[in-house]
Amino acid sequence: MKVFVTGASGFIGSAVVKELRDAKHEVIGLARTEASAKKITDSGAAVLMGGLEDLDVLKQGALLADGIIHTAFIHDFTQYVKANEVEKEVINAMAGVLVGTNKPLIVTAGILGLPLMDGNITEDSKAVNAPRSSEGTAMKWAQEGVNVSVVRLPPSVHDKGDNGFIPFMIRQARKYNIAAYPGVGENRWGAVHRLDAAKLFRLALEHPTKGALYNAIGDNGITLREIANIIGDSLGVSVGSVSGDDSLKHFDWMSRFINIDGPATSLKTQQVLGWKPEHMGLVEDMRKNYF
């Protein structure tokens, strides 16, 4: 299968490209810069030059391919509203040219902010007021007949090279000499290893189901206090609770997410796709690779 991948040189997208190439798929990766293009060609994939705001290029990529995996996102969380709007336009552009075809489009979404069902976010939890709008946008196209499905990622997709939420918390702990957690720190975050997530994207592409929602969950839920304790132990700094203005100062842009409780399961995803997380969990990965 010829697969168009957005975000192909990124932390998650590059793992998806390798997973696809190892499974003998042909890959076309979107690249905004020459450096990204080189990384994609070095992985054995072809390159389509353009960025997320180049909608005609995105349409071209979708038309050239037999399937699309959309992993790209503007990770400037200080402009989260704008990033969401750009992503809506990206999904709308690619899905729009797939009307009348059966080409699978796999869209990335976040799991934080979805409602708990019997204590966990499950595949039956629906995105109503989720911080990220990609799932809702994708599901509208599924209702229009486009063969789109969604892979939901937890806040921590971890591995060497991670530059997401956990590394930011580590940097803030170094900056303020305290590994902080919000309130009592009992809110929980799920996690998944980057290579396990990449395999799930491939399986979702190879076995497409229109309107399917998949949870990429390895660790069901690790408390923010436990994460702070690991950071504190590893850096040799104090560990403590922050709230109110102190929390806003410490967590900065991350404050909009830090208090969300998001334990999640992937039971239906595992049953439907035969996917099973096999790589190390977040706690082990942090202790081995994050400090």
Instruction: Provide the pLDDT for residue 129.
Output: 67
Instruction: Quote the pLDDT of residue 127.
Output: 80
pLDDT of the residue at 131: 64
Distance between CA atoms of 259 and 247, rounded to whole angstroms?
A: 10
The pLDDT, as a whole number, for residue 228 is 98
Residue pair 16/60 in contact by the 8 Å Cβ criterion? no
- Intervals of the chain under pLDDT 50: none
Mean pLDDT for all residues in the chain: 95
Widest CA span of the chain, in angstroms?
58
- State whether CATH 3.40.50.720 applies to domain 2-158+191-217+264-278: yes
Looking at residue 234, what is its pLDDT? 98
Q: Domain residues of the chain, as ranges?
A: 2-158+191-217+264-278
User: Could you report the per-residue pLDDT of 79-138, keeping only the tens digit for each?
Assistant: 777 878 899 999 999 999 999 999 999 999 999 989 999 999 999 998 876 667 899 999
